[in-house]
Amino acid sequence: MTAVRSLDLPAPDAASPAAVSAPLRGALDVERIDTWVFDLDNTLYHPRANLFAQIDQRMAAFIMELLSVEYEAARTLQKRYFMEYGTTLRGLMRHYGVNPRRFLDYVHDIDLTVVGPDAGLARALEALPGRKLIFTNGDTPYARRVLERLGVAAHFEAIHDIVAADFVPKPEEAPYDQLLAEYGINARRAVFVEDMARNLAPAKARGMATVWVNNGSEKGDVNASPDFIDLEIADVSAWLSGIGRADMVARG
């Protein structure tokens, strides 16, 4: 039997950037992981960038224009569709036959300069053995722009986006099965990393390991439960840097 190395490591040197990488709770056996699946928004960058606030405003503007209604009416419809269909887009497609490409391009036409390069994240991803994929409720052109801003695009093999998911968003079950099938992922050897705790439940149900990025993002802690969260961290970059370091210690 090989010894199981977990991420339940002793607290790192407080002066190092990995200091905040000590897990808040739980453990993960990284030896069994060969596929790393990451959410994008508020997971690979800090929620303080608040990109969703911009997207949210663009959605309202899209509806105002589409239906010739005032802001308040647009917001009400936007939120209602989000609650009923999981995304505003799905409601607009169903009720108004909105072209999804037009909607997605419009709402993601935002200022990304608030997201800057993350050299630490790029280094950590580079050092991380295994495949890396993005699983997002956003769309691929937007995800690629964000990854490029962060300077980490080259490290990801693929982006499983809302279009590939036939507009069925996380945490509905279907896109998880689709992701695993499409990329031939063995769930038992994969981990999903997400800021919205509830999106981890279907991953866990399929045998994936789960990491909750508890960074204070909006609705991030809704329905959070240790039943389906293996590891709780505060910051992906710091956490992954800690893994790289642990590997070097193990190899050294």
Binding stretches for Mg ion (CB under 5 A): 39, 41-43, 195
Structure tokens at 97: 């036959």
Q: Which lies closer to Mg ion via its Cβ, residue 56 or residue 64?
A: 56
Least separation in angstroms between CB 24 and Mg ion: 18
Tokens 């308040």 appear where?
Answer: 72
The dihedral over CA atoms of 146, 160, 158, 144, expressed in degrees to the nearest 10, equals -20
Q: Please, which residue, 131 or 170, has the CB nearer to Mg ion?
A: 170
As measured in angstroms, the least distance from the Cβ of 64 to Mg ion is 26
Comparison of 118 and 195: residue with beta carbon closer to Mg ion: 195
Residue closer to Mg ion by CB (options 218, 247) is: 218
Residue 252: burial class (beta carbons within 10 Å; 0-12, 13-18, 19+)? exposed
Closest CB 51 distance from Mg ion, rounded Å: 10
In the complex, minimum distance from the CB of residue 85 to Mg ion, in angstroms, rounded to a whole number:
18
Q: How far is the CB of 44 from Mg ion (least distance, A)?
A: 9
Rg (CA), the chain: 19
d(CA 124, CA 116): 16
Output 118 or 246, the one with its CB closest to Mg ion: 118
Closest to Mg ion by CB, 141 or 244: 141
Per the CB < 8 A criterion, the answer to whether 47 and 217 are in contact is yes
Per-residue b or e along 99-129, where b marks 16 or more CB atoms closer than 10 Å to that residue's CB: ebeebbebbbebebeebeebebbbbbbeebe
Decide: helix, strand or coil at residue 134: strand
